[in-house]
Every structure is written in C-alpha cells, then in structure tokens.
Amino acid sequence: MPNIVEEIIFSFTNNKSLYIEERLTMSEHMIQTAMQAEKNKCSGDLICSSLLHDYGHFVLEDPNQLVGNHIDGNHEAIGVNYLKKYFSNEIIEPILLHVAAKKYLVRDNKYFNDLSEASKTSLKLQGGIMSDIEAEKFETNKTYENAIKLRRFDEGAKNLNIKIKKIEDYKELLLSKVI
C-alpha cells in the first residue's frame, strides 16, 4: 500500500493549479479551510476533512477545463472514492457531503449572496439550490452538521493576504487519522 500521507503532501506541494476561477491555489484553499476548522476548535476528524475536502480536484486531470465546458467533475465523489480506503467515515462523509451542504445553505439568500463568483458558477454546475424535499433528506445524514461546518469553512478559505501553514504542518494529524 502506498504511503498515502507522503502522497498527499507531494500533491499539495507540487500542484500549483489555481483554485477554479479564484486567485489562490487549490493547496492554499484547502490549507486555509483546515485552518478555519482549527480556529473554530473542531475535532481532528473535521480538520482532516477540511484539509482534504477538494482532494478530488488533484485526482481530476483538468478541473478548470471541466468548468469551462460547463461540466461538474463530481470532485467530492472522486476524492472520497480515492481516500476512503485510507480514512474513516467520520472524515470521508463530510467531504462527500460538502457540495450538498452548499446546495442546502444557499436556500438562505444571504448565504447565496455572500458566495464568491466561482462558488456561484460551480453551484449551477452542481445542480443549483436544494428543494425542500432534498433538504429534509440531507438532514437525515448523521454527519450533515459537520458537512455544513466544512462548507462554511470552505467558503471562508479564499483569502489572498494571510499567512498560511504548510502541508507538512498537518503530517502528524494525517498520520494519526490513517486507518
């Protein structure tokens, strides 16, 4: 079995792709998301979920091309399918549900209006706002509250002028969470 933690660190270090339609890299965005979870004193599992929530973009060949072609790459499912053999469901489920959480949260106009333009673009590709029936079903997921927290951290993790941690700062956490 490959050393998944070393692979994750390599991916974060070597992927310089900009976060879709944003001005920071995928790696910077995911690290900022984890930093938001830490700032809010979340569990190690949710910090790990926050760090890895967009890992599917590293697995996809060209996420920007998909967006340019108006296609949803289902990065959340791709990331989960890749990571699920290494991490517990407590880490995996919020990653899988973070797109659904956005669709759930945008039912509130204020949340929608506060989204970045990139998030509004991806929302359209991801199927738009949840219906009331979909929202009721979403609320039955045992980890939906963590998915909502993750999604809020995700949207707040697009800052250009802050000092961010290095992926190596999360090595011990990642190692402690590998199953």
Give pLDDT, residue 77: 85
Each residue of 105-140: pLDDT tens digit? 999 999 999 998 888 888 888 889 999 999 999 999
Task: Give the whole-angstrom CA distance, residue 37 versus residue 84.
Answer: 21
Of 17-26, 62-71, 138-147, 151-160, the poorest mean pLDDT is in 62-71
SS3 of 178, please? strand
- Of the options 2.60.40.1230, 1.10.3210.10, 1.10.1030.10, 3.90.180.10, the CATH number for the domain spanning 4-177: 1.10.3210.10
* pTM: predicted TM-score of the whole model, two decimal places: 0.88
Distance CA 92, CA 84 (A): 6
Burial pattern 40-68, b for ≥16 Cβ within 10 A else e, equals: eebebbbbbbbbbbbbbbbebeebeebbe
- The model's pLDDT over 34-92, given as tens digits with 9 standing for 90+, comes to 999 999 999 999 999 999 999 988 877 554 444 444 444 577 888 899 999 999 999 99
pLDDT in the model for residue 19: 58
Question: Quick check: 156 and 107 in contact, CB under 8 A?
Answer: no
| DSSP codes of every residue in 66-112 | HHHTT----HHHHHHHHHTTTB-HHHHHHHHHHHHHHHHHTTSHHHH
